[in-house]
Structure 1
């Protein structure tokens, strides 16, 4: 004797299988629908884990993806046959644009290098000036220290 839960579970399983088959057919026939388990879940109302646990829907989706990829490659191959002169002209234009870009980049770098050299020169001169000022201040400090010592000696 069968358990009533087993009968209900089998009926639900069969209904879900029919929903999956219909949704996979819809995805297969509609290229705008992504061939994903999430889309299959959205179309059937089943949870993604319930779909993934069955296994075969995932394989069907992979086949659909491969089919779409080969169709896309076939379409791109047919559009590849362009006029070779146009292709070469496009490449030449791209090369010209790249040349202009790198030329301008080079000019900017040369300007930056010149500015950095000027800044370095200014810093070097300023360093020399500050070193001279430091020497003079040390000499003054030493003279003032001597004078202070002399005054201390006079007072004591």
Structure 2
């Protein structure tokens, strides 16, 4: 049978163990929540107030640190994937903008060519109008002269 002294030391050890367990859980939670804290045994030791060897002897805190590291790595991979998808979507938007810019640029060039051709046609039509107007005026004069001659001939 255990004597009273050993029961006392067992209860004190159990209390310390429980207290340290709570401190470890709190420190692990702080490391989980705060990305600026590195998930290392050194930081866990500083936050929990326990020696690194004590933490290693328990094993489960180290396993929890490894889980935190893997979760962070997964999050980093997800963020990188999201960033890549954002970049890809931005590249798609840029490509679409380039295509639209090319379309409108080509359309503007085509319209400039059409405009130049219309000015050439306008010049041709204007010059032909002037020519036919001059011809019309000549024929009017000729017609007047001929009408005068007809009147003169009818009078005689």
Q: What TM-score do the two structures reach when normalised by structure 1?
A: 0.52
Picking from 12, 15, 20, the partner of 1:11 is 15
Q: Greater CA radius of gyration, 1 or 2? A: 2
Structure 2 match to 1:71: 75
Unaligned 5+ segments in structure 1 are: 87-156
Matches within 5 A, 1:88-107: none
Gaps of 5+ in 2: 95-156
- The answer to whether 1:34 aligns with 2:59 is no
Q: Which runs of 4+ in 1 moved over 3 A?
A: none
Q: Distance in 2 between matches of 1:37 and 1:18?
A: 16
Question: Out of 45, 52, 71, which is 2:49 matched to?
Answer: 45
Alignment RMSD (CA, Å): 1.7
Instruction: Measure the CA separation in 1 of the matches of 2:62 and 2:55.
Output: 8
Partner-residue secondary structure (3-state), 1:32: coil
Figure out how many residues of one structure are paired with residues of the other and give that number: 86
Q: CA deviation at 1:78?
A: 1.2
Q: CA deviation at 1:80?
A: 1.2
